[in-house]
């Protein structure tokens, strides 16, 4: 198992494997998304209170889930990178950040689109989930800005990793503090708890979450291939790759 792990960490091997896996991830996620959307938009029954408007849940909840998952991936990869000095782990953190930020933005945007017809407002400052997502977006921005502002790549890797770890403690604190804060104002916005969802609604949702995760994996793999190429730009295998790939020759 360890040899497999070490082999994976070698850049040329990883570059090849990521190239092999990425299309599978993408294909599976597209199939899952099409099925999930069909299930969610067509076969799932209307919500007795929200009518058809609830169907945005099939984009909103997976985005929100992925916005958190991407941060966890980023933080775990940062910790691995700092402790075991594994360069590939830093590349994973760097690659996951913009995807996570995009999902956070998507969760916020779909949440606003959903909130307008349901709660009559685009934005509610006292809602703990909205605020947590917003702060999460800022944390992603900080992580990316710090990376972008440090010219030396190794230093940028490690500095951003420290920041990601500080941020992970904070995400938890922010979440509970905002929840506590808003509980003084009003009861938390009650959403239909998933336990009471009929299977015809829940199954497409779970399928969408799985497909979004696969999509995240596919995009991450693509970004990682790019990261590996940039990081190994002076390595012999990259030069050989550039020489033997006609399309890359023209770019050069």
Partner 1 sequence: MIGASLQVVSPSLRPFGTFSTVLRRELQLAYRRPADLLNPLFFFAVVTSLFPIAVSPLPDVLALIGPGVIWIAALLAALLPLSTHYAHDYEDGTLEQYLLSGQSLVAICIAKTVALWLVAGLPLVLASLVVSGSYGLAPSTFAVMSITLAGGSYALCALGAVAAALTVGVQRASAMIALLVLPLMVPVLIFGTRAISMAATNLPAKGPIYLVLAVTLLAALLSPIATAAALRISME
43 binds partner 1 (CB under 8 A): no
Of 34, 166, 230, 233, the one binding partner 1 (CB under 8 A) is 166
Q: Does 155 bind partner 1 (CB under 8 A)?
A: yes
Report how far residue 20's alpha carbon sits from residue 34's, in angstroms, rounded to the nearest whole number. Answer: 23
Handedness of CA 42, 218, 111, 130 (dihedral sign): positive
Question: Of the candidates 39, 62, 167, 204, which one interacts with partner 1 according to CB under 8 A?
Answer: 167
Among 178, 207, 209, 221, binds partner 1 (CB under 8 A): 178
| 157 token code pair | 């890797």
**Helix (H) / strand (E) containing 174:** helix 153-185
Binding part of the chain for partner 1, among 11-19, 28-36, 115-123, 173-181 by CB under 8 A, reads 173-181
Indicate whether 169 belongs to the interface with partner 1 (CB under 8 A). Answer: yes
> Per CB under 8 A, which region of 89-97, 162-170, 212-220, 224-232 contacts partner 1?
162-170
Stretch that binds partner 1, among 9-17, 150-158, 189-197, 227-235 (CB under 8 A): 150-158
154 Cβ contact partners less than 8 Å away, ≥ 6 residues apart: none
Candidate residues 1, 20, 42, 184; the one interacting with partner 1 per rule CB under 8 A: 184
Angle at 227 between CA 14 and CA 219, to 5 degrees: 80
Stretch 65-94 residues interacting with partner 1 (CB under 8 A): 82
Q: Which stretch binds partner 1 (CB under 8 A): 28-36, 51-59, 159-167, 243-251?
A: 159-167
**What DSSP designation does 51 have?**
B
Q: How far is the CB of 161 from partner 1 (least distance, A)?
A: 9
How far is the C-alpha of 241 from the C-alpha of 101, rounded, in Å?
A: 32
Residue 145 binding partner 1, by CB under 8 A = yes
- Residue in this structure with the two tokens 């067509």, named with its chain if needed: 42
Residue 156 exposed, middle or buried by CB count within 10 Å (0-12, 13-18, 19+):
middle
Cα–Cα distance, 71 to 132 (Å, whole number): 13
| Whole-number Cα distances in Å, 154 to 90, 157, 160, 166, 231 | 9, 5, 10, 19, 10
User: Total binding residues for partner 1 by CB under 8 A?
Assistant: 29
Which residue ranges make up the site for partner 1 (CB under 8 A)? 82, 131, 135, 138-139, 141-142, 145-146, 149-150, 154-155, 158-159, 162-163, 165-167, 169-170, 173-174, 177-178, 180-181, 184
């Amino acid at each position: 198992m360890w040899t497999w792990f070490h082999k994976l960490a070698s850049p040329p091997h990883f570059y090849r494997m990521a190239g092999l896996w990425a299309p599978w991830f993408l294909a599976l996620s597209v199939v899952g998304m099409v099925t999930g959307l069909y299930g969610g938009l067509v076969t799932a029954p209307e919500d007795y209170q929200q009518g058809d408007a609830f169907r945005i849940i099939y984009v909103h909840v997976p985005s929100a889930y992925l916005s958190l998952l991407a941060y966890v991936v980023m933080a775990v990869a940062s910790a691995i990178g700092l402790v075991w000095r594994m360069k590939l782990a830093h590349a994973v953190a760097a690659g996951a950040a913009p995807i996570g930020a995009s999902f956070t933005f998507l969760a916020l945007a779909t949440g606003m689109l959903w909130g307008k017809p349901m709660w009559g407002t685009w934005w509610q400052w006292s809602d703990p989930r909205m605020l947590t997502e917003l702060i999460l977006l800022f944390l992603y921005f900080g992580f990316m800005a710090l990376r972008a502002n440090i010219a030396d790549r190794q230093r940028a890797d490690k500095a951003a990793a420290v920041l990601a770890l500080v941020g992970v403690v904070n995400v938890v604190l922010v979440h509970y503090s905002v929840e506590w804060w808003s509980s003084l104002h009003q009861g938390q916005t009650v959403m239909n708890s998933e336990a009471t969802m009929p299977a015809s609604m829940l199954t497409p949702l779970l399928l969408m979450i799985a497909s979004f995760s696969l999509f995240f994996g596919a995009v991450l793999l693509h970004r990682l291939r790019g990261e590996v190429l940039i990081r190994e730009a002076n390595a012999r295998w990259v030069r050989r790759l550039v020489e033997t790939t006609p399309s890359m020759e023209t770019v050069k």
